[in-house]
Amino acid sequence: MKILNTLENLEVIAKHYVGNYIFELKEEDPKYFNKMIKSYMVFETDDNYKFAIRFDYDAIKKTVYYNDETEAPEITENYFIHYNMRYNNYSRVCKQLALLTYHLDESNGVYVKNRSFMHDDSFTVIRELTEDEKCFLINVAEEKDDQYKKRVVAYYKRYNDIIYADGYWANR
């Protein structure tokens, strides 16, 4: 399996996720288009099937919220990293999903799907993902997580004086 250039394979993303809207965006709002396209990666399997996966990370949060019935957390670098990575950990998700049997399915494009989550019969199973392909996707997800973690660390080092904790009413 290999990673392809996203801009050269826009039709793969358009088939999978956003239809022709992606090409309209390119003309109407090129800044948003470029930002959105950066979150996609296009893959090609050894038997020439192309599919896209979106790695969409949230913005870094400078306000750390905590339950007001507990003591305010001390915002250390590790705590800040953990707080921002908790919903942005694609490698953890990929490792959990790798335990399931995934297939390449085809309707108007190629999708990576788990058969147990497919509720309609419009998908045609092409084949199961191999262990090598699953490992490859996990490695890509780990690289993307590492890049995001580096961003969080750099943000903390640069702006740690404006990062603060804010309590919220938990049981009221």
Give the total number of structural domains in the chain. 2
46 and 95 fall within a common domain: no
Per-residue pLDDT, 156: 94
Structural domain span for residue 113: 56-172
25 and 63 fall within a common domain: no
33 and 84 fall within a common domain: no
90 and 108 fall within a common domain: yes
126 and 49 fall within a common domain: no
SS3 79: helix
20 and 50 fall within a common domain: yes
Read off the DSSP letter of residue 129: P
**What's the pTM value of the predicted model, to 2 decimals?**
0.75
39 and 100 fall within a common domain: no
171 and 107 fall within a common domain: yes
144 and 74 fall within a common domain: yes
87 and 161 fall within a common domain: yes
25 and 110 fall within a common domain: no
Per-residue pLDDT, 133: 84
Strand order in the sheet with 124-128: 110-114, 102-106, 124-128
Summarize pLDDT for 39-74 with one digit per residue, the tens: 888 888 888 888 777 777 888 888 888 887 888 788
Strand stretches in the chain, DSSP E: 2-4, 40-44, 50-54, 63-67, 102-106, 110-114, 124-128, 164-168
21 and 96 fall within a common domain: no
Per-residue pLDDT, 150: 94
CA 26 to the chain's CA centroid = 22
CA distance 146 to 91: 10
Ranges of residues in the chain whose predicted pLDDT is under 70 = 15-24, 96-126, 170-172
